[in-house]
Amino acid sequence: MTIQLYYFALLQDQRGLAEETIELDSQSVADLYANLKSKHGFTLEPQALRVSVNQQFVAWDTELKDGDEVVFIPPVSGG
């Protein structure tokens, strides 16, 4: 299946991209983040993030489907 990923703040800096399309086997949001964290060296733990699928906040055990748009939202601060 194909999903669209969007990165913001620290995750965008660590990945070096704002967005990408990836192919993957069926898996949960948690599994996806664990794979991305290992592959790209993300330093944030899942507890520090919110996750959105198709513009709705979801639980980490949500199963992904073909065509989903996924955003991992790190903490941000203003100034």
Dump pLDDT digits (tens) for 42-54.
999 999 999 999 9
Q: What CATH number is associated with residue 22?
A: 3.10.20.30
Convert the pLDDT of each residue in 60-70 to its tens digit.
999 999 999 99
DSSP lists the bridge partners of residue 7 as 72
pLDDT at 77: 64
| Half-sphere exposure (Cβ direction) of 28: Cα atoms closer than 13 Å | 9
- 51 falls within a domain: yes
- 78 falls within a domain: no
Confidence of residue 75 (pLDDT cuts 50, 70, 90): confident
pTM: 0.90
- 79 falls within a domain: no
| Block residue for tokens 């964290």 | 37
Q: Which domain holds residue 12?
A: 2-73
Q: Residue 2 pLDDT more than 60?
A: yes
Domain count, the chain: 1
Average pLDDT (20-42) is: 94
